[in-house]
Amino acid sequence: MSPCIWGARVDPQKRLPAEIEALPADYELYPELGDRAIGFLSRGCPMHCPFCIVPLKEGPPHQVSDLDTLLEGGRRRKLILLDDNLLSLAQAEAILEEMASRKIRVNFTQTLDLRFVNRTRAALLRRIDCSNTRFTRPSTISASTTR
């Protein structure tokens, strides 16, 4: 039996086959999305917050898609981004620059971790058309979360 973590049964070692993970979203199933794309550019997180399974389940930050793929080659101009910790990704600045220069409207559904914001990233975030922005405040997470 799988361990029960926060009410969800999970086996952190199980993975979907790569060909399944790489499938694009089937937008016919979600007509309410309209012209919005939804998906992940990255998975994983370097932090080890005691309440979170992401580092165990998904590992360190790694890119899993690109904007062209998620936006169907530019057919969509709005993006609902599901990434857990986009700013911890090594390529974060390049991704933010691309979002800004392509004038993509982005809904960052997860928080943006302030620990990974610097002057360059702050300037890039200001240039992005965000439909919402939430930041994780380091003071709300204990120092023991960084391993």
When pLDDT is averaged across residues 101-127 and rounded to a whole number, the result is: 92
pLDDT band at 6 (very low <50, low <70, confident <90, very high): very low
Token pair belonging to 95: 């991704």
Nearest to 79 by CA among 117, 109, 101: 109
Q: Residue 146: pLDDT above 60?
A: no
Question: d(Cα 85, Cα 136) in Å, to the nearest integer?
Answer: 10
pLDDT band at 145 (very low <50, low <70, confident <90, very high): very low
With 0.85 as the threshold, say if the pTM is over it: no
For residue 73, what are the CA distances in angstroms to 61, 64, 69, 77, 117? 24, 16, 6, 10, 29
